[in-house]
Structure 1
Amino acid sequence: MDALEILSSPITWAVTVGTLYIFYRYVTSTFNYFSDQGISGPKPMPFFGNMWGIWKSNLSEYDMSLVKKHGKVFGYYDGPQPNLWITDLELIKAIFVKDFDHFVDRRTFNFKTKIVRKWLTVVKGKEWKDIRSSVTPAFTTGKIKRMSLLIKECVEILSIRISAVAQSEGKMNAKLIYGAFTMDVIARCAFGLKIDSLGNKDDPFIKNAQFIFNPPTSKTPLILLPCSRWQNGADVVTRGDKRNCDRPVINVVTFQKSTLFLLAGFDQTATTLTNTCFQLARNPDIQEKLHETILQKLEDYVCHIFEDVCHEMVQDMPYLEQIIQEVLRFYPASLRTERMCTKDISYDHGGGRIHIKKGVLVTVPIYAVHHSEEYYPDPETFDPERWNPENKVKRNPYSFMAFGAGPRNCIGMRFAMEELKFAITALVKQFRFFPVEETPEKLRFDVGFQPALQPMNAILGIELRQPN
């Protein structure tokens, strides 16, 4: 029997069709998980679930459209993986805080890189608890206060750089300059390095970090492959850099601290600084009120030993805090946060019962929560007064998740806030931001499956303020 006869044989066709049918049933076997519970959601595709085309989407707009169409609770599939999406605040509180012991872990990845497998953001169970306990002392108030002196040195270098740009060009690429600044802060505070990378986009330290946070695969179907985002370039934090190194870089605890500084303080902080300056440029009344507040605080602190911006001063500026909180609401540092169920649990919701089995993901689309009309009236208006004491006390705390929620929230939150406050205070004190021809009316963000917003065309006018 030749090959043609074999291929045309009814038995061959029957086996082929039967095999394909069994395989199809296998890859779609989870697709009734939510429908059997009466939970709606977008219809999944075989193999890809609901993720086909995600690499060419604007993720913030994509998440908003899903929530608008399917409501506060709906089912989604990351390939065959069931993923319960929630924007209901009571469920968020239950999953992230009240029943945290059922949702300790994050998504499972099979990393090839041993280094990445030990990141605090991906380790699980008791190992996570042990590492978190060992790393937490690095972010105490006292430690951050001491690091503020290093941050201040980096801010001074940043101010010199921006002053030169203001006098020579009158406008700047905010994300590029702030990315270099935040990397200098990380290098100095976490690695003991002085890389002096401001304005040098080709510095290998910055290039490797940018590869991690915004890899080319995020805009291709390769993003659907497990871990494609992190496989390459992830060991940058352990290699360090021998240039101007003040202290040895890596042991286990130091490694965790270093990677946390990198995750908390590089790309997301640079993006938040960019977004803040954009909103100040587009809202000159808010910018001038902040400037007046800074000048008043400087007068208040002039009798102390400090001659300029200091840790105590930036912690005593409620209006600055309001602006940063509104920026993080408008442009959250992370678009989504998620947990994996480690023990079966059920919840009453909407007249029914939601059953979450072990291994099922739960995702909170943070951007959609922060732009909900229900939680934030007129959400597309930038308004720092949402965060004054009178308004803040009326708001459900779980409607703001810029740093996550519960025991597994962002451990680097206070460090990031310290860096933001120092930089914004020093810059607004010296410079005025304003729109130029290249400045968009509304910030647009890069497409692709990325964990954080990547602003495009963030060109702002910049000028030195005249001394009073």
Structure 2
Amino acid sequence: MDVSTVLSPLVTWVVIIISALYIIYRYVTASFNYFSDQGIPGPRPIPIFGNMWGIWRENLPEHDVKLVKKYGKIFGYYDGSKPNLWITDVDLIKAVCIKDFDHFVDRRSVNLTIKVMRKWMILMKGQGWRDIRSSVTPAFTPSKIKLRRYCRVRIENCFLSVHFFISEYLFTVVFPNFLSTFGSLGEKLYVIDDFKFIFRLLENVILERSQSKKKYNDFIEIANESISEFKKEIDSKTSTLFMLAAFDTTSTTLTNTCFQLARNPDIQEKLYDIGEVSHDMVQDMPYLEMVIQEVLRLYPPLLRVERQCTKDYSYDNGRIHFKKGQLVTVPAYALHRMEEYYPDPEKFDPDRWSPENKAKRSPYTFMAFGLGPRNCVGMRFAMEEMKIAIATMIQKFRFFPVKETPLRFFDGFCILLQHFDATVGVELRQSIPTDRYDLLLHLRRRIFKN
């Protein structure tokens, strides 16, 4: 048998396989010169994963700080094959979030087909986001916040699970079309049973109230009235827009506040003599707001603030070019710890937020609530909620340290700052009635659990 006859098919298949692998390699790395061609530094990406390989083993807050220290205020990063420009330069932050916001209206594209999630404000784009934002905003005016009462339901389990399901978000970063291709699997990953319970609860509450003329003046009523004219026909059914957010970020910030007050008793005592807690009272407590802002500086609930370029854009006379679809990330945790902006950044110092000190610092160095038109719509609500909670706790309890350990946060790709060790001691400042003993036990359980 002629050897060439045997080898010819083999050689042909080898050539085909090598050519196919080369084509695939070129396809998945086609964007990897996007930043280097512009002279922008950054870590070297690898095929398919870009710079995301091993991110599930990292401590994300520490990871972001290291990247900023190594590559500077502007550098390129790749979420899979997608270019993502990281920025901590205040002028560029201002341009993206405020000055040229019309080029960066959207957040990261997440192709969710899940009915209960696809209309969430955080995921909406363009005009759809503008419509929802304008409809929801009236629910957070000072007058509406003053009127609101709380609807108390057991939703702790829903948010205790956030760390576990949000890790699956990594798939949507590296493989952005994953959830739209496998919609049913995406729903299993994201919509846990506790979320479904909340959705059903809210639907039932609104349905019952629609059949009654009784006024409740709580947040559900105010929010529903604000968006009552903004409803969409989905699958031939009327779908009411719900807001479900901020519970986990607010509770985390309150835990972080207790932790810092325990380690700074002098600051804690400054907050003690405040009188009766009310809406009007907390509006005139500048030092309390300074304490909360310093907590949010050290521990911003959202580690990264993202925007997506919606149309081609050039910055600094073309020095940096953004193509439509490119991502921009402000690593808030790392930004808040830059020595240039916050001297001795690891120190807890509420005086950083005095009027005279704030005036010396660019407002674009603080991203706890985002910036510009797409900042946190519930910022005022969250601040008042935290002020009232802290002021009430300080009147009744004293926090003290029980061990000298720093706050420790979960490892892995969790974009929310989630701590797993925040232990403090709690003692009564004065005796309380017996019928309030359960409240004390509940508070102790929550703090020690966090």
TM-score by length of 1: 0.78
Partner of 2:283: 315
Match for residue 358 of structure 1 among 282, 300, 324: 324
Distance (Å, rounded) in 1 between the aligned partners of 2:8 and 2:51: 35
Match for residue 215 of structure 1 among 143, 164, 175: 164
Partner of 1:180: none
Are residues 221 and 243 of structure 1, via their aligned partners in 2, closer, same or farther at CA, if it must alter by over 3 Å?
closer
Residues 374-396 of structure 1, C-alpha deviations (whole Å, 9 max, x = no match): 00000000000001111111111
Q: CA deviation at 1:366?
A: 0.4
Residues 114-133 of structure 1, C-alpha deviations (whole Å, 9 max, x = no match): 22111111111111111111
Partner of 1:288: 269
Residues 82-121 of structure 1, C-alpha deviations (whole Å, 9 max, x = no match): 0000000000000100000000011111103022111111
For 2:373, what is the secondary structure of its paired residue?
A: coil
Distance (Å, rounded) in 2 between the aligned partners of 1:68 and 1:310: 43
Partner of 2:445: none
Matches within 5 A, 1:238-257: 238-240=199-201, 247=209
Partner of 1:369: 335
Q: CA deviation at 1:225?
A: 4.7
Partner of 1:68: 69
Distance (Å, rounded) in 2 between the aligned partners of 1:400 and 1:241: 34
Structure 2 counterpart of 1:87, one-letter code: T
Distance (Å, rounded) in 2 between the aligned partners of 1:430 and 1:344: 55
The alignment's C-alpha RMSD in Å is 2.6
Q: Report how many aligned residue pairs link the two structures.
A: 392
Question: Is it true that 1:346 corresponds to 2:310 in the alignment?
Answer: no
Distance (Å, rounded) in 1 between the aligned partners of 2:252 and 2:157: 16
Structure 2 counterpart of 1:356, one-letter code: F
For 1:32, what is the secondary structure of its paired residue?
A: coil
Question: Is it true that 1:336 corresponds to 2:304 in the alignment?
Answer: yes
For 1:426, what is the secondary structure of its paired residue?
A: helix
What fraction of aligned residue pairs are identical, expressed as a percent?
A: 57
TM-score by length of 2: 0.81
Match for residue 398 of structure 1 among 345, 361, 364: 364
Partner of 2:245: 263
Matches within 5 A, 1:8-407: 9-147=10-148, 150=149, 185=150, 188=151, 194-195=152-153, 197=154, 205-211=155-161, 213-216=162-165, 218=167, 224-226=174-176, 231-233=190-192, 235-240=196-201, 247=209, 258-259=242-243, 262-264=244-246, 266-292=247-273, 294=274, 298=275, 308-348=276-316, 353-407=319-373
Partner of 1:465: 429
Structure 2, unaligned runs of 5 or more:
1-5, 180-185, 211-219, 232-238, 432-450
CA contact (8 A) 2:170 2:413 kept: no
Are residues 244 and 31 of structure 1, via their aligned partners in 2, closer, same or farther at CA, if it must alter by over 3 Å?
closer
CA contact (8 A) 1:119 1:256 kept: no
CA contact (8 A) 1:53 1:221 kept: no
Structure 1, unaligned runs of 5 or more:
151-184, 189-193, 198-204, 299-307
Runs of 4+ in 1 over 4 A off after TM superposition: 5-8, 219-230, 234-237, 241-246, 248-257
For 2:370, what is the secondary structure of its paired residue?
A: coil
Q: CA deviation at 1:236?
A: 4.8
CA contact (8 A) 1:120 1:256 kept: no
Distance (Å, rounded) in 2 between the aligned partners of 1:64 and 1:379: 12
For 1:16, what is the secondary structure of its paired residue?
A: helix
CA contact (8 A) 1:135 1:253 kept: no
For 2:122, what is the secondary structure of its paired residue?
A: coil
CA contact (8 A) 1:340 1:360 kept: yes
Are residues 82 and 220 of structure 1, via their aligned partners in 2, closer, same or farther at CA, if it must alter by over 3 Å?
closer
Q: CA deviation at 1:435?
A: 1.1
Q: CA deviation at 1:35?
A: 0.4
Are residues 253 and 231 of structure 1, via their aligned partners in 2, closer, same or farther at CA, if it must alter by over 3 Å?
farther
